[in-house]
């Protein structure tokens, strides 16, 4: 590999390497546990990236689109694996973006009560976020990612060569998440080359996951910018990809934090500048219903009153309960 790095996710006996670099996918065979005899490769036909797991393998293609991120797809995979004869001593390799690693990882977590999975993340979003950290799952008609499991992979492969064919929209999606990392401790990512940006984001994610694997606390900072992003995605009809929605959500979170006296105007401006640097929009899409959006924030409401936002402040980014609809409305007007 020309330019390579290995980031370890330290989770005791479930620790694993994230191998980053041009051509990293050619390391795959050595990253699969030695005792594995067969590998089920899960991918989508449009991805078109071939991998060599170094043992008997068969490819299982899943459909594209959120609609296929379902229990039905997981059932189909498990049934096809059973017919092929995949055993509990075998493994899964998921080759694709976040949808493939979420679905393939979840199917691996339940097949024979759990078999090893290696993720080959082929999108920027997948490499810096979805494939690392063990969150897997599928949607229900009632909501996104409502059924899933924490199932840590045995290894993650992030090959920059697989990013070359990514459509521009997919780049935007990844850059929205990258902008997030800049505010949660990855340092200034502007001016770094792509390899260094990806490695910095993965290092931070690995540290956060090692400190709080099951999101009891610290891992929530990975949701910076996501409260508004999720509301925009749930409301739908705005033609926004996840990372594009996160970019808007970052600037919104800054506007909320400023109104709470947690940060100053310069820091809000820095949020806008970073999002602009990553060539993303930070204004609300036309037609957003302000009151409807605030109601969607409340959907997550559990025992506490108000909405838990992740907000910047003197101690860095942390979860904060906000129970002031007028403030939330004012901050939304500010990003129109």
Active site residues: 113, 135, 177, 205, 215, 219, 223, 226, 230, 242
The residues near 131 (Cβ < 8 Å, ≥ 6 apart) are 94, 98, 101, 119, 121, 153, 156, 158
Instruction: List the one residue from 90, 92, 121, 129 that touches ligand GLY (CB under 6 A).
Output: 129
Query: Minimum CB separation from ligand GLY for residue 133, in Å?
Result: 4
Q: How many residues belong to the site for ligand GLY (CB under 6 A)?
A: 5
Query: Minimum CB separation from ligand GLY for residue 29, in Å?
Result: 27
Instruction: List the one residue from 135, 172, 175, 258 that touches ligand GLY (CB under 6 A).
Output: 135
Query: Minimum CB separation from ligand GLY for residue 132, in Å?
Result: 7
Q: Which stretch binds ligand GLY (CB under 6 A): 6-14, 52-60, 127-135, 309-317?
A: 127-135
Written as one string, the DSSP assignment of 179-235 is HHHHHTTS---TTS-HHHHHHHHHHHHHHHHHH-TT-SSGGGGGGTTHHHHHHHHHH
Backbone angles phi, psi at 155, to 5 degrees: -170, 160
> Which single residue is written with the structure tokens 């980031």?
7
In the three-class reduction of DSSP (H, G, I as helix; E, B as strand; rest coil), residue 334 is classed as helix
Note whether 324 and 286 are within 8 A (CB). Answer: no
Contacts 24+ apart (CB under 8 A), 190-198: 190/274, 190/277, 194/160, 194/163, 195/3, 195/5, 195/20, 195/21, 195/22, 195/160, 198/20, 198/124, 198/127, 198/128, 198/158, 198/160
Nearer to ligand GLY, 180 or 271 (CB): 180
Nearer to ligand GLY, 20 or 229 (CB): 229
Nearer to ligand GLY, 163 or 246 (CB): 246
Q: Which stretch binds ligand GLY (CB under 6 A): 116-124, 129-137, 145-153, 164-172?
A: 129-137
Nearer to ligand GLY, 246 or 320 (CB): 246
Query: Minimum CB separation from ligand GLY for residue 205, in Å?
Result: 7
Instruction: List the one residue from 17, 126, 133, 137 that touches ligand GLY (CB under 6 A).
Output: 133
- DSSP letter assigned to residue 6: E
200-239 binders of ligand GLY (CB under 6 A)? 219, 222
Nearer to ligand GLY, 90 or 318 (CB): 318
Report the interface residues with ligand GLY, using CB under 6 A. 129, 133, 135, 219, 222
């Amino acid at each position: 590999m020309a330019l390579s790095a290995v980031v370890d996710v330290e989770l005791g006996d479930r620790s694993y390497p994230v191998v980053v670099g041009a051509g990293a996918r050619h390391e795959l065979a050595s990253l699969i546990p030695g005792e594995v005899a067969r590998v089920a490769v899960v991918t989508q036909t449009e991805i078109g990236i071939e991998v060599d797991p170094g043992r008997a393998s068969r490819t299982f293609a899943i459909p594209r689109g959120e609609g296929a991120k379902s229990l039905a797809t997981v059932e189909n995979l498990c049934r096809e694996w059973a017919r092929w004869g995949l055993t509990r001593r075998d493994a899964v390799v998921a080759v694709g973006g976040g949808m493939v690693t979420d679905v393939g990882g979840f199917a691996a977590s339940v097949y024979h009560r759990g078999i090893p999975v290696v993720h080959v993340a082929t999108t920027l979003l997948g490499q810096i976020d979805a494939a690392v950290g063990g969150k897997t799952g599928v949607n229900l008609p009632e909501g996104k990612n409502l059924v899933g499991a924490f199932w840590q992979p045995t290894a993650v492969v992030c090959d920059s060569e697989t990013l070359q064919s990514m459509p521009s929209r997919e780049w935007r999606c990844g850059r929205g998440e990258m902008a997030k990392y800049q505010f949660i401790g990855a340092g200034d990512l502007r001016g770094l080359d792509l390899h260094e940006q990806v490695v910095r984001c993965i290092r931070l994610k690995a540290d956060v996951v090692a400190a709080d694997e099951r999101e009891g606390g610290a891992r929530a900072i990975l949701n910076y910018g996501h409260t508004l992003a999720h509301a925009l995605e749930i409301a739908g009809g705005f033609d926004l990809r996840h990372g594009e929605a996160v970019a808007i959500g970052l600037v919104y979170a800054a506007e909320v934090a400023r109104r709470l006296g947690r940060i100053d105007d310069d820091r809000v401006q820095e949020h806008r500048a970073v999002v602009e640097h990553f060539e993303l929009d930070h204004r609300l899409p036309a037609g957003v219903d302000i009151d409807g959006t605030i109601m969607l924030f409340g959907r997550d409401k559990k025992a506490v009153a108000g909405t838990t936002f992740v907000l910047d402040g003197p101690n860095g980014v942390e979860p904060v309960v906000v129970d002031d609809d007028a403030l939330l409305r004012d901050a939304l007007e500010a990003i129109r």
